[in-house]
Amino acid sequence: MRIGIFGATGVIGQRILAEADQRGHQVTAFSRNPAEGRRQADILDPGDAIDGLDVVVNAINSGRDPETAIANAEVFPASATALLKALERRPATRLVVIGGAGSLEVSPGRHLVDSDGFAESLPGLLGVPAEYVKVVLAQREALNRYRQSDRQWTYLSPSSALIQPGERTGRYRLGGDQLLEVTADISAEDLAVAVLDEIELPRHLQRRFTVGSAA
């Protein structure tokens, strides 16, 4: 399968690339700045870069440090609009997007990001300022844009406060729009397994789903 990955240098993107390569897929890593092993492409203007791909993976983040991430939060809805526009001419190409947990439901119709004190909890939870809530809200806006589309998109919101490198067990729990319990933190390696499982056997076309650790 021909897979293109935006955000392939990030913690999650690197592991998706490695998992896809290990499974024998033909993988292209995209970057705005050309480098060895990567193809130049801008997610906000993908152009012809995604031609011929079976699946496009959007694993971007908005910045490596909190202040940059906050300043660049709008890249999430903007990239959603750009990719969906590009896929209008490529209806057979699937899109898999890695988002955050903030838009998962903690009760029917109520998202985690809307919980009392959510922004104030971010310094202790993630080590980022309360203003980082702008990133979470931008990711939710991106999901809303995907949901308005008729393209073949899938959105994965892991039920983890922070995705970190760890053990690849090959096991995980699946969920839908509801946040799994707090103990559901999943490693970046097992998240990559879940992404490739979905790519190889699509079960959530035009839907969002979540994953958590199997333990």
pLDDT tens string, the chain, 215 residues long: the values are 999 999 999 999 999 999 999 999 999 999 877 666 678 899 999 989 999 999 999 999 988 899 999 999 999 999 999 999 999 999 999 999 999 999 999 999 899 999 999 999 999 988 999 999 999 999 999 999 999 999 999 999 999 988 999 999 999 999 999 999 866 789 999 999 999 999 999 999 999 999 999 87
Q: Where are the domains of the chain?
A: 2-213
Distance CA 68, CA 201 (A): 36
Helices 188-200 + 11-22 axis angle, to 10: 50
pLDDT digits (tens, 9 = 90+) for 163-175: 999 999 999 999 9
Question: Which residues, listed in sequence order, are joined to residue 58 by a DSSP beta bridge?
Answer: 6, 97
Which homologous superfamily does the CATH classification assign to the domain defined by 2-213?
NAD(P)-binding Rossmann-like Domain (3.40.50.720)
pLDDT at 30: 93
pLDDT at 182: 63
Kind and range of the H or E run holding 21: helix 11-22
Distance CA 41, CA 48 (A): 9
pLDDT at 175: 95
Determine if the pTM surpasses 0.75. yes
For 188, phi and psi rounded to 5 degrees? -60, -35
pLDDT at 162: 86
Q: Work out whether strand 55-58 and strand 94-98 pair parallel, antiparallel, or are unpaired.
A: parallel
Give me the residue label for tokens 């097992």.
190
Distance CA 33, CA 25 (A): 23
Distance CA 136, CA 76 (A): 10
Give me the residue label for tokens 């994953």.
211
Distance CA 23, CA 18 (A): 9
Q: Identify the three-state secondary structure at position 190.
A: helix
